[in-house]
């Protein structure tokens, strides 16, 4: 008899106790929605939020996809970071507001994704329009504006009520592909990119996905085999004991195999909204966080695509974001819409803290994503809410113990989605005992959310580190002797310079 069920049982019992709330934690935030001009009379009713440095000025911009309530017909908003912690909304000027005024309400969308589909070093935009299926693909013109290239993109205009979107190189050809989840038991879509902003339809997925009213979708190498797998959450639970989730392992050629049962994850709930993946226990693999409206569960990766339940948190919503908010070296947890931060004890167990400043979270929070928008080295939080103001929380940790890593792929792709980045103590590269952090670059997380592609690590300040990036094609790059705090650009195409 395998020991796994026993371990699973023990872990489940131990995790039943709810996390204890602490009010004196290290987390301090300030709601800067107004002062940063993230606030707009139109900036409410958000469903998706995406961070990216669109104009390449070193300042992270943010895009908000709006839909539905309380008032329909809201344009998507594009906040261009002006520096100094201030944004200017430039959606219409940039050509990506997708305003559905004058009765064209169907242009509203749940989610979008910034991704460098043409490998030219800047972020293009795919916006999945929920009601019309009139998806938009925009090419970044390199000047901060976008050009609509949807017409010949090969992306079908099909009313499938898309929800989540994600970008990643699923077939390993060096070009980003696109996946779009769909509501109402409609098969999700995979588009294989050609690197020139044109796509072709990819594989069909199995029965499990088709039975879900899909929500958040992610492309992530959860089995650590070097290719990009796909995970999915949904509503309208299936009748089996697994729950409305799906995990597809990449067969190495861009095809996907349903591996939900083999994953060991069971999340039976009426509706599951989003995944998050991160190395919660410092063992260089991706552990899983699943969020439903009522609860959040933590699963520890035990290798070969299998997980072990580790902890349940009696708070839930749509998206849980993982970030090292306090620079202590491990990933903390923020469940979008809540007012608590769950601090990681370093071993993947979370303890609830009531931080200073996460107040006014709106109503019915949906997507949440992190970025260091003020470039002070810590990660800030953007939260969009379906029935309230979208909000921005500035992290006031301000500690010097951080590294930020901006990736350029071997083909010149901004963000290098799918790349794994490891931070080691200096002169200890590849030594697991000196691993300081592990992240995977990806194009989407949780529910309709996208963190800034510039990866963030909390590390002790003043020390030297080695940053190893392993690209999806198997090549790697190591930046030696990087002393925190530092922003590092890893670009294998650029001349090697210290």
Contacts of 451 (CB under 8 A, 6+ apart): 51, 321, 323, 369, 370, 371, 445
Of 302, 470, 478, 486, the one binding other proteins (CB under 8 A) is 478
Tokens 């693909």 sit at which residue?
A: 137
Nearer to other proteins, 307 or 471 (CB): 471
Using rule CB under 8 A, residue 207 touches other proteins: no
Least gap, CB of 176 to other proteins (angstroms) = 22
The 10 Å CB-count burial string (b at 16+, else e) for 218-237 is: bbbbbbbeebbbbbbbbbeb
Question: Which residues pair with residue 299 across a beta bridge?
Answer: 288, 309
Cα gap 358→341, rounded to integer Å: 9
The piece of 128-136, 157-165, 358-366, 473-481 that touches other proteins (CB under 8 A) is: 473-481
Rule CB under 8 A: is residue 126 a binding residue for other proteins? no
For residue 130, which of 448, 360, 347 has the smallest C-alpha distance? 448
To other proteins, the closest distance from the beta carbon of 464 in angstroms equals 7
Nearest 5°: phi and psi at 10? Answer: -60, -45
Please give the C-alpha separations between residue 123 and each of 12, 104, 414, 443, 452, in angstroms, as whole numbers: 42, 27, 7, 11, 11
Strand order in the sheet with 256-258: 213-220, 229-235, 245-250, 256-258
Residue 84 binding other proteins, by CB under 8 A: no
Q: What angle do CA 12, 277, 54 make, to 5 degrees?
A: 160
Pick the closer one to other proteins by CB: 13 or 497.
Answer: 497
Q: How many residues bind other proteins (CB under 8 A)?
A: 14
Site string for other proteins, 371-410 (x = CB under 8 A): ----------------------------------------
Residues 479-498 touching other proteins, rule: CB under 8 A, are: 480-481, 492, 496, 498
Of positions 29, 275, 402, 477, contacts other proteins by CB under 8 A: 477
Terminal CA-to-CA distance of the chain, rounded, Å?
A: 54
Here's the x/- map for other proteins, 422-461, by CB under 8 A: it reads as ----xx-x--------------------------------
Q: Considering only residues 6, 71, 143, 475, which one is a binding residue for other proteins as defined by CB under 8 A? A: 475
How distant, in Å, are the alpha carbons of 40, 53, 291, 324, 383 from that of 334? 24, 23, 11, 10, 11
Give φ, ψ of 167 to 5 degrees. -125, 140
- Of the pair 268, 461, the CB lying nearest other proteins is at 461
Pick between residue 212 and residue 482 the one whose CB is nearest to other proteins: 482
Nearest of 181, 177, 226 to residue 197 by alpha carbon: 177
Q: What's the CA gap between 69 and 23, in Å, rounded?
A: 33
Q: Give the nearer residue to other proteins in terms of CB position, either 262 or 426.
A: 426
CB of 438 to other proteins, least distance (A): 17
Q: Which of 12, 476, 486, 487 binds other proteins (CB under 8 A)?
A: 476
Nearer to other proteins among residue 224 and residue 426 (C-beta): 426
Closer of 266 and 428 to other proteins (Cβ) = 428
> In the window 94-113, what residues touch other proteins (CB under 8 A)?
none
Question: Least distance (Å) from other proteins to the CB of residue 463?
Answer: 13
Q: Which residue, 20 or 433, is less far from other proteins as judged by CB?
A: 433
The smaller minimum CB distance to other proteins, of residues 393 and 465, is found at: 465
Q: Residue 464, interface with other proteins (CB under 8 A)? A: yes
Closest CA to 54 of 86, 90, 84: 90
Paired tokens of 14: 């131990």
Q: Which stretch binds other proteins (CB under 8 A): 9-17, 397-405, 433-441, 475-483?
A: 475-483
- Please say whether the beta carbons of 256 and 203 come within 8 A: yes
List of residues contacting other proteins (CB under 8 A): 426-427, 429, 464, 468, 475-478, 480-481, 492, 496, 498
């Amino acid at each position: 008899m395998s020991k796994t069920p026993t371990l699973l049982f023990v872990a489940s019992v131990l995790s039943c106790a709810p996390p204890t709330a602490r009010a004196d934690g290290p987390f301090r935030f300030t709601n800067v929605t107004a002062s940063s001009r993230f606030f707009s009379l139109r900036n409410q009713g958000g469903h998706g939020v995406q961070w990216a440095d669109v104009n390449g000025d070193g300042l992270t911009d943010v895009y908000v996809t709006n839909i539905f309530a309380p008032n329909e017909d809201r344009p998507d908003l594009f906040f261009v970071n002006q520096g100094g912690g201030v944004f200017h909304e430039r959606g219409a000027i940039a050509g990506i507001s997708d305003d559905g005024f004058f009765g064209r309400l169907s242009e509203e969308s749940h989610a979008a994704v910034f991704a460098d589909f043409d490998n030219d070093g800047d972020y293009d935009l795919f916006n999945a329009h929920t009601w019309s299926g009139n998806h938009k693909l925009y090419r970044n013109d390199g000047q901060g504006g976008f050009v609509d290239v949807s017409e010949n993109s090969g992306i079908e205009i099909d009313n499938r009520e898309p929800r989540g979107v994600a970008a990643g190189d699923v077939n390993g050809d060096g070009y980003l592909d696109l996946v779009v989840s769909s509501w109402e038991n409609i098969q999700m879509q995979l588009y294989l990119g050609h690197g020139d902003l044109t796509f072709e339809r990819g594989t069909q997925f199995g029965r499990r996905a088709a039975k879900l009213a899909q929500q958040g979708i992610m492309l992530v190498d959860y089995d650590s085999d070097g290719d990009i797998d796909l995970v999915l959450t949904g509503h309208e639970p299936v009748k089996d004991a697994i729950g409305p989730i799906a995990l597809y392992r990449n067969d190495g050629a861009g095809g996907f195999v349903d591996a939900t049962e083999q994953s060991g994850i069971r999340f039976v709930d009426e509706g599951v909204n989003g995944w998050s993946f991160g190395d919660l226990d410092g063992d260089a693999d991706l552990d899983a966080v699943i969020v439903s409206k009522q609860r959040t569960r933590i699963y520890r990766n035990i290798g070969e695509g299998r997980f072990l339940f580790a902890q349940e948190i009696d708070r839930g919503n749509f998206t849980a974001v993982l970030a090292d908010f306090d620079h202590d070296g491990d990933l903390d947890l923020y469940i979008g819409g809540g007012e608590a931060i769950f601090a990681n004890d370093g071993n993947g167990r979370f303890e609830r803290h009531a931080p200073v400043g996460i107040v006014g979270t709106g109503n019915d929070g949906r997507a949440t994503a992190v970025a260091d928008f003020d470039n002070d080295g810590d990660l800030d939080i953007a939260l969009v809410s379906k029935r309230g103001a979208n909000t921005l929380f500035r992290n006031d940790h301000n500690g010097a113990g951080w590294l930020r890593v901006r990736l350029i792929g071997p083909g010149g792709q901004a963000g290098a989605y799918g790349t794994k980045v490891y931070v080691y103590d200096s002169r200890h590269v590849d030594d697991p005992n000196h691993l300081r952090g592990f992240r995977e670059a990806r194009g989407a997380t949780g529910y309709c959310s996208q963190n800034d592609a510039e990866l963030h690590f909390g590390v002790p300040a003043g020390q030297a580190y080695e940053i190893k990036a392993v690209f999806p094609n198997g090549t790697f790059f190591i930046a030696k002797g990087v002393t925190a705090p530092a922003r590092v650009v890893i670009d294998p195409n650029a001349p090697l310079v210290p």
